[in-house]
C-alpha cells in the first residue's frame, strides 16, 4: 500500500533492525533522504553501515522495520524490482568484456534492446567523461576509470536511487582524492537521490549534503557536516568526527566551567544537565586551544611532547599538569618539544564540550 509522502522526501528507513545469529547488527535505524539529496552513511568498521545499505538494496531483509521509496513500501521487493543503481566496493566489472558491454549488461538484463541500449550506454559514459571508451577493455583502463565505468553502469538504467558501497576504497590516496572530486560532480549532475557508505570522514564531508553517523548499529546523529563537527549530539560524535582531546575535570554548574586537575577552570558547553561538582570529561578541538602567557585567564601549564608538521600549521602534543594530554594547532615555530608552555581555550573559538566523566580529576 502506498503512503502519502512529502514532496521532497524520497527514501525513508523506518526502525530497521537486523540480527545475524546472536549479533545485533542494526538497532532501530530510522532516517529519511530528500529527493536528489546525497547522504553519506559514515561509521567505524562494524557499525552496521554496509548492512543498512544492503537492506535498502534488498540483499538483506530486516527482521523488523520498513524501506519506503516515494511512498512505496519496497521492503519485500527483490533487488531487481526496486530500480536502484548500485556501485560495489570492488566494482564487479567483467574483465572479458569491453567498457560498453559492461555498461550495457544491466540494461540488457532489464530487457532493453537495440538502439536504446547504445543510446543509454553513450549517455552514461559521457556523463562520467568516458565518451568514446565503449570498445576499450576494462583491463586496459586505470582504476579511477574502472570506478567511473561501474558508476556509468549503475546510472544507465536511470535508477530511482543510487547506492555506493565504499566506491573509492580500492584506489591509492592521490587517485582517491581526484576521483572523489569527479564522483561528486557526476552524482550531483545526475540529480539522483544517493546514499553512499564510507568510513572516511573527509569523503563523507566532501560528498554528503548530510551525514548519518552510525555506532554499534545505532544512528548517533544525522546532520550537515558542519552540524556534526560543531554541535555533536553525543560524546562518540565529538570524538569520532575530526580531531579532539579529552581532559578530565570537575563541573562548576553556576559558572559553566570545568575545573582541571591543576586547578585551572575552562569555560565549556554541557551536552546535558550535569550536577554541580560531578566529574566530567572535556572534549576539545586542536584549533580551539592556543599557547598563552602564564598569567592569562584559564592558562594551564604543560610541556610539549612532540610535533606533527601539517603545512602552514603544526599539531603540538602537550602534557598538562595532572596527566591529561591535549593537541594544539598553531604556527610551526610556536613551540618546540621539551618546552614548558601554557595552554588555554581561545576566547572566540569553539568551546570544549562536557560529558559525564570518570572522576579522575581532583
User: What letter would DSSP give residue 337?
Assistant: T
* Same domain, yes or no: 74 and 158: yes
Rg of the chain in Å (alpha carbons): 25
Q: What's the CATH number where 43 sits? A: 3.40.50.300
* Same domain, yes or no: 199 and 270: no
Q: How many domains does the structure of the chain reveal?
A: 2
Whose CA is closest to 29, among 213, 203, 164?
Answer: 213
Domain stop point among 203, 222, 237: 237
Beta-bridge mates of residue 64: 17
Task: Return d(Cα 290, Cα 347) in angstroms, integer.
Answer: 10
* Same domain, yes or no: 250 and 346: yes
Q: Please check whether residue 295 lies inside any domain of the structure.
A: yes
* Same domain, yes or no: 111 and 23: yes
* Same domain, yes or no: 250 and 233: no
The SS3 call for residue 322 is coil
* Same domain, yes or no: 121 and 155: yes
Q: Please check whether residue 149 lies inside any domain of the structure.
A: yes
* Same domain, yes or no: 25 and 174: yes
* Same domain, yes or no: 91 and 58: yes
Q: Mean pLDDT per segment of 10 residues, for the chain of length 362 residues?
A: 54 96 95 95 95 96 96 94 87 87 82 78 88 90 87 89 86 77 85 92 92 97 94 91 93 94 90 88 94 92 96 95 94 96 90 80 44
Domain stop point among 237, 263, 292: 237
What is the predicted pLDDT for the residue at 6? 43
Domain stop point among 237, 260, 279: 237
Task: Return d(Cα 220, Cα 213) in angstroms, integer.
Answer: 6
- Note the residue count of the chain: 362
* Same domain, yes or no: 233 and 248: no
Task: Take residue 139 and report the three cell numbers written for it.
Answer: 583491463
Q: How is 123-180 classified by DSSP, letter by letter?
A: HHHHHTT-TT-TTSBGGGS-HHHHHHHHHHHHHTT--SEEEEESTTTTS-HHHHHHHH
Task: Return d(Cα 130, Cα 116) in angstroms, integer.
Answer: 19
* Same domain, yes or no: 228 and 247: no
Q: Please check whether residue 187 lies inside any domain of the structure.
A: yes
Q: Please check whether residue 86 lies inside any domain of the structure.
A: yes
Q: Please check whether residue 91 lies inside any domain of the structure.
A: yes
* Same domain, yes or no: 262 and 229: no
Q: Please check whether residue 1 lies inside any domain of the structure.
A: no
Q: Please check whether residue 4 lies inside any domain of the structure.
A: no
What is the domain extent for residue 276?
Answer: 243-356
> What are the strands of the beta sheet with 23-34, ordered from one edge?
23-34, 9-20, 64-69, 72-73
* Same domain, yes or no: 169 and 302: no
Q: What's the CATH number where 289 sits? A: 2.40.50.140
Q: Please check whether residue 256 lies inside any domain of the structure.
A: yes
Amino acid at each position: 500500500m502506498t503512503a502519502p509522502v512529502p514532496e521532497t522526501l524520497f527514501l525513508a528507513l523506518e526502525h530497521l533492525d537486523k540480527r545475524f545469529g546472536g549479533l545485533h547488527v542494526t538497532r532501530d535505524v530510522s532516517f529519511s533522504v530528500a529527493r536528489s539529496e546525497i547522504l553519506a552513511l559514515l561509521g567505524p568498521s562494524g557499525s552496521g553501515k554496509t548492512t543498512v545499505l544492503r537492506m535498502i538494496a534488498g540483499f538483506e531483509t530486516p527482521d523488523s522495520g520498513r524501506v519506503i521509496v516515494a511512498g512505496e513500501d519496497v521492503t519485500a521487493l527483490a533487488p531487481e524490482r526496486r530500480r536502484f543503481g548500485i556501485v560495489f566496493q570492488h566494482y564487479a566489472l567483467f574483465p572479458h568484456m569491453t567498457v560498453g558491454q559492461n555498461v550495457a549488461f544491466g540494461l540488457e538484463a532489464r530487457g532493453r534492446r537495440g538502439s536504446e541500449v547504445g543510446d543509454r550506454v553513450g549517455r552514461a559514459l559521457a556523463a562520467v567523461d568516458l565518451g568514446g571508451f565503449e570498445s576499450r577493455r576494462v583491463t586496459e583502463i586505470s582504476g579511477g576509470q574502472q570506478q567511473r565505468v561501474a558508476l556509468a553502469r549503475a546510472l544507465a538504467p536511470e535508477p530511482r536511487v543510487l547506492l555506493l558501497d565504499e566506491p573509492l576504497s580500492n584506489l591509492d590516496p592521490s587517485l582517491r582524492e581526484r576521483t572523489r572530486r569527479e564522483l561528486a560532480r557526476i552524482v550531483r549532475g545526475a540529480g539522483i537521490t544517493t546514499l553512499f557508505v564510507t568510513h572516511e570522514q573527509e569523503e563523507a564531508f566532501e560528498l554528503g549534503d548530510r551525514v548519518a553517523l552510525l555506532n554499534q548499529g545505532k544512528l548517533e546523529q544525522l546532520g550537515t557536516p558542519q552540524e556534526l563537527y560543531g554541535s555533536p549530539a553525543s560524546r562518540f560524535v565529538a570524538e569520532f568526527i575530526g580531531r579532539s582531546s579529552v581532559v578530565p575535570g570537575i563541573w562548576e554548574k553556576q559558572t559553566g566551567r570545568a575545573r582541571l586537575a591543576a586547578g585551572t577552570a575552562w569555560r565549556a558547553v554541557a551536552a546535558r544537565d550535569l550536577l554541580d561538582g560531578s566529574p566530567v570529561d572535556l572534549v576539545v578541538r586542536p584549533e580551539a586551544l592556543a599557547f598563552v602567557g602564564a598569567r592569562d585567564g584559564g592558562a594551564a601549564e604543560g610541556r610539549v611532547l612532540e610535533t606533527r608538521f601539517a603545512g602552514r600549521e603544526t599539531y603540538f602534543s602537550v602534557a598538562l599538569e595532572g596527566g591529561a594530554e591535549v593537541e594544539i594547532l598553531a604556527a610551526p615555530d610556536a613551540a618546540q618539544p621539551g618546552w614548558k608552555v601554557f595552554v588555554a581555550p581561545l576566547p572566540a573559538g569553539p568551546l570544549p564540550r562536557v560529558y559525564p566523566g570518570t572522576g579522575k580529576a581532583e
